[in-house]
Structure 1
């Protein structure tokens, strides 16, 4: 659900005057109206199908299942969602099922209806709390089930109603995926060097003409609490003054002056908005402040001049015969190896990081030594030095936009390191036994496997290289024996583990709602994942490689082995073993 942001504009004439660019006071009572259509735009909703009504169920179990989906929709006291929800309840239950600012999202398991067809128990897994801004917050309840009482209704229509239930409004997570649309809203990091994606859920019943205004209202409201400390909102008291119509490819938005405080000509604001609304088909942005036109901007230009640490092509590498080699197939294009021949040896895992002056390298040897170095410009890294006291147990990662890396070590410890060979033990709030780590391409979020569980964590890197972690959020991929993790998208991670007797990789959204199988045919435990992540704004899809059974594989629905012939310029194996020539392992990407 999502709130309606404000009241109807007082007069049509005032509204027209604002859109036309007439000046208004710095402080105004005009608020966003999202109730009516916008002239010249499409009023169709993204999905016209609402959740099922009370009378559509044929059995008590179907009724309960439908009831757990009834709260899907806009938060609008007295509106359609409230009316639908209230129709499901009777008696004392009406007090508990009043639509408020949030609903409890659960993954529904068994629904057990007693023989009396009155008492019902619902098994659940807590997913989170969906608030009125479309943010799914981490769960606060630990309940594993709920008890309800229902009654059969006599007279016209019949059906059932809930007469006793839990104190909060419940929403089946499947309804979230059926009746909402995932939206990505972007916020600047605290030093304004990167845009951070913030996953939101917008009811699909919201008319398309209102979607731009809803997204701008989310920008006005600020980033999700989970990103606190790494993302920043607009200046305090910033206001979107009126609807933001998208007509013939041009989005017109009217903000209060506060919105561009400390932002020359609104440059940061328009770039943030361009990334947020690009998927809506916006081709240009018109920025008004207090009704006065500031400028008009091409959306694609705004997107292209926002630096993002990922190249146009996926450049994949692997380790072959203990050397880093570029892959010419099955994905991407071959690129120069960023290690000089003299130091390209004794490699088990490797990671590289582009910096403002060249490239940083981190190499782990078969003896579990971590070696680091730097190169200048396009010159390969020519020297590596051992980082004392660090014995990695998994591949290292660099945090983009910094010169700081992270690596798991023996006894489940996590170390930070830099190209200067300095390393320090770091602690992530409450997490122990860390066995894998992955960094998002914005460098402000990481994913971890700790204590056998999957977490995502906000992170900041200080000028001295110190790493500050936010609150971890646990995600449930519904896999056992988790081994490896990577960021496969801006708002999704991929994790490997066991599904029954199959080795699988599953994509999980950062709020835990969406879980999408990527492969189920891994050849043995999947111990490493490398991904070129999906970025929809840049029209780039995910490419994924992984390691299993000491071989590299492409994950694309099914698994395809990366063979020696796919290595750019690979020489014949010097001493083929009983199984034939050695094959590539430990795949990774350099962006």
Structure 2
């Protein structure tokens, strides 16, 4: 009963206000939601604020180990001591050596609702096995790096506590500091900080974890330390660090709408301070008020946080999303409920033999990329751009057996539009003229999706999920080293960005095809649709916030037939607009958003 209550409380803590009542709790630890995101987004310091468990007097070995897997959560200064309380004195040497506050935690996903416990002797000696999936290494700066350990089972031995104390203690344990993903969700909040891209024209999000017990007045200090400490390892090659030598002189001070930050910064020009002010405003998006920015004790700038965010939006070109699909080999608008319906911006002469498509914007221009089929069943990429009706007559010179859904990279460089597409297992860059060049990634790539900022991508390589940074310089696209993410799903088939730091993905959930959601670091995942009846071959999401009649975290997919979420419903023929009288009867396919 205690664990069931914990799961219910956990779900309510993570869901946005007003959504907790619509969530069902499945048999396993993740929460199943109907297309709505339970994990926090930008600046969301969710979590209970409660302290992790200390050793109790319980004699239940399963409950004891579950508490042990949460004891290392929270602020690092106390984590090591909390963990030691669970361990018998003779076994404490098995713990990793503590080095100041740089305590690294091995985060694991529990694959079973409860550990497996076996009584070894009548003297109360227990063996407890925990089957896990390695999620990553949580570092002191709140980043979750790729897993280092490869263990899938951890074995503990327990004995009764010494005379004068109740409960159990651990006598044999792994020599790593473990943290369950359940404890990560309960005792940490999420926070997004922002770095500039390579030409400092676009902010790029970086996802962090902050103990919920950290008081509000210290959050400004933590954000400043994160920014000056640099981006997450996997993102570093795609963003610009703050100038070398920039560091906090002391803790940030203030509260109630007025803060002060004191830094060292070599060559603190007005331009550098302006860029830093925008970074701080968005990295502190949960705060309003004024922030005095000092350089070596001299006030150089006062930042109105709310006004700075209003003057420098993260995604200035974001428009109201419109739904489209392919019907009888052509792009058509979709009419869903009260949502606005758009007109197809592609010239009718080019809107033929279409398999899949994408539409995007670069300034005032529309970008179109279509995958078309020839009579010999070979496929070709055709692209075009323009204002008003777009002629899509720039064709790739090479033909392919199969081309995935193309994507345009949203970038401020409207003079050099570029995108990514997967063809015959290889990831290619394409430009506005239809030219394609391989990006040289190893392994069989089957899907690619781009974030709203255009500088992070998700990939499916060899049936597994990866994320990678992207740099765009004068239309030249460079992809950094992909980082593999952990998920319960296997044999992945499709992925897209579901929100700023969330992915929606499709694959096999044990014995059936399913759709899940996961964070950009793979730490927290939820089942969105347990059984899609057939494998998902196409998936498209809207990664922005609420806009008009379209709810947040919306996606559409194809699993033989086309569907949408919010709620999960098949897309019907009657919802396809502008179909010719003599069109061949078929079902809607390859649905996508234009925004």
The TM-score range, normalised by the shorter chain, is 0.7 to 0.9
State the match for 1:482 in structure 2.
492
Q: Distance in 2 between matches of 1:198 and 1:441?
A: 13
Partner of 2:419: 405
1:309-348 matches, within 5 Å, as 310-330=317-337, 332-348=339-355
Higher RCO, 1 vs 2 (CA within 8 Å, ≥6 residues apart)? 2
Cα distance in 1 for partners of 2:380, 2:252 equals: 53
153-162 or 237-246, which moves further after superposition? 237-246
- Cα distance in 2 for residues equivalent to 1:92 and 1:190: 52
Residues 47 and 499 of structure 1, relative CA distance in 2, 3 Å threshold: closer
CA contact (8 A) 1:316 1:587 kept: yes
Structure 1 position 132, deviation (Å): 0.6
- RMSD across aligned C-alpha pairs, in angstroms? 2.7
Match of residue 585 from structure 1: 589
Mapping of residues 262-341 of structure 1, within 5 Å: 263-264=270-271, 266-278=273-285, 280-304=286-310, 305-306=312-313, 308=315, 310-330=317-337, 332-341=339-348
| Residue of structure 1 equivalent to 2:52 | 51
**2:442 counterpart of 1:442:** no
Match of 2:395 in 1: 386
The answer to whether the 8 A contact 1:360-1:372 is kept is no
Output the TM-score relative to the length of structure 1: 0.83
> Using the alignment, how far apart are the partners of 2:333 and 2:207 within structure 1?
34
Match of 2:472 among 454, 461, 466: 461
> Secondary structure of 2:492's partner?
coil
Which of the residues 338, 353, 361 maps onto 1:354? 361
Aligned in 2, Cα 1:327/1:262: closer, same or farther, shift over 3 Å?
A: farther
Q: How does 1:397-436 map to 2 (within 5 A)?
A: 397-401=407-411, 403-410=417-424, 412-428=425-441, 431-436=442-447
Question: Residues 46, 282 of structure 1: CA spacing in aligned structure 2 closer, same or farther, 3 A cutoff?
Answer: farther
Q: Is the 8 A contact 2:459 2:465 kept in 1?
A: yes
What is residue 572 of structure 2 aligned with on the other side? Answer: 563
1:451 correspondence with 2:457: no
For residue 262 of structure 1, report the CA deviation from its aligned partner.
5.0
Partner of 1:37: none
Please list the CA deviations of residues 291-345 of structure 1 after superposition, one character each: whole Å capped at 9, or x if unmatched.
3333333333322324526524122221222222223324742233221223222
Task: After superposition, give the CA deviation of every residue in 1:511-547 in whole Å (9 maximum; x if it has no partner).
Answer: 1111022223525222111111145999983221112
**Maintained 8 Å contact 1:414/1:434:** yes
The runs of 5 or more residues in structure 2 that have no matched partner are: 1-44
- CA 1:371–1:105 in 2, change beyond 3 Å: closer, same or farther? closer
Structure 1, 484-493 or 53-62: larger mean CA deviation: 53-62
Structure 2 counterpart of 1:112, from 113, 116, 122: 116
Within 5 A, what are the aligned runs for 1:66-77?
66-76=67-77
1:82 aligned residue: 80
Cα 1:380–1:56, aligned 2, differ >3 Å: closer, same or farther? farther
- CA 1:302–1:469 in 2, change beyond 3 Å: closer, same or farther? same
Work out the number of aligned pairs and report it.
Answer: 531
- Superposed CA deviations along residues 428-456 of structure 1, whole A, max 9, x for unmatched, are 2xx42211111112222211112111111
- What is residue 20 of structure 2 aligned with on the other side? none
- Rounded to whole Å, the distance in 1 between the matches of 2:256 and 2:590 is 48
Q: What is the rounded CA distance, in whole Å, between the counterparts of 2:182 and 2:209 in structure 1?
A: 13
Structure 1 position 107, deviation (Å): 1.8
State how far apart, in whole Å, the 2-side matches of 1:394 and 1:298 are.
45
The reply to whether residue 369 of structure 1 matches residue 382 of structure 2 is: no
Distance in 2 between the 1:118 and 1:286 partners? 57
Confirm or deny: 8 A CA contact 1:369 1:386 kept in the other structure: no
Distance across 2 between alignment mates of 1:397 and 1:46: 35
Given candidates 203, 214, 217, the residue that maps to 2:225 is: 217
Pair 1:231 & 2:239 matched: yes
